[in-house]
């Protein structure tokens, strides 16, 4: 099967509770917002990039266009950001990545693309566990996700289990998935 054309959505729509309610994507790391690190790493491997955000839209807009909001109110979680990304997605497949993993590498996209084959979604595995917010999702999964959210579903891993999915081995690069969840983690 031919490799799909890929766009990306960077998930930056959360409340940032563990980061003291700061907008995590805009928190600086080595002189740049976290989201800028992610954008730079994935840009060579994808076409269009959107940022999913629910606040500070003008600031995100200076970094990338488009900036897309959740269609669901009250910060229902990353699935709402994935749904917004699938609503926007101009290509056959959407790379989903959180804004708080500045060590992400383009090889993640390539491994997910290779693993996807005929499946609906490919999910990265770091050698210890699945990384469900590092995934390549076919645009055709939008209706499935809409139904899952409408039924009250909120957990990414539970939605993935409803799909035909594959695992991408990223066990040789587990540092790609280290996420910045607190101000202290910025200095680790």
Binding-site positions for GTP: 11-13, 24, 52, 70, 100
In the β-sheet with 6-12, what is the strand arrangement from edge to edge? 67-68, 49-53, 6-12, 93-98, 130-138, 121-125, 165-169
Annotated binding site: 11-13, 24, 52, 70, 100
Annotated binding site for Mg(2+): 100
Q: Which residues pair with 131 in a beta bridge?
A: 124
- Sequence-separated (6 or more) residues with CB below 8 Å from residue 152: none
């Amino acid at each position: 099967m031919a490799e799909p054309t890929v766009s990306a959505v960077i998930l930056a729509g959360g409340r940032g509770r563990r980061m003291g309610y700061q907008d995590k994507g805009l928190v600086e790391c080595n002189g740049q917002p976290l989201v800028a690190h992610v954008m730079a790493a994935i840009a060579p491997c994808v076409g269009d990039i959107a940022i999913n955000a629910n606040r500070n839209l003008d600031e995100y807009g200076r970094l990338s266009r488009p900036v897309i909001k959740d269609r669901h109110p009250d910060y229902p979680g990353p699935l709402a950001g994935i749904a917004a990304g699938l609503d926007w997605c101009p290509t056959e497949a959407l790379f989903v990545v959180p804004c708080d993993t500045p060590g992400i590498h383009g090889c993640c996209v390539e491994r997910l693309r290779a693993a996807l084959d005929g499946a609906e979604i490919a999910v990265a595995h770091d050698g210890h566990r699945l990384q469900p917010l590092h995934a390549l999702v076919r645009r055709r999964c939008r209706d499935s996700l809409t139904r899952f959210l409408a039924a009250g579903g909120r957990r990414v891993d539970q939605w993935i289990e409803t799909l035909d999915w594959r695992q991408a081995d990223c066990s040789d690069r587990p540092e790609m998935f280290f996420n910045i969840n607190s101000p202290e983690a910025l200095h680790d």
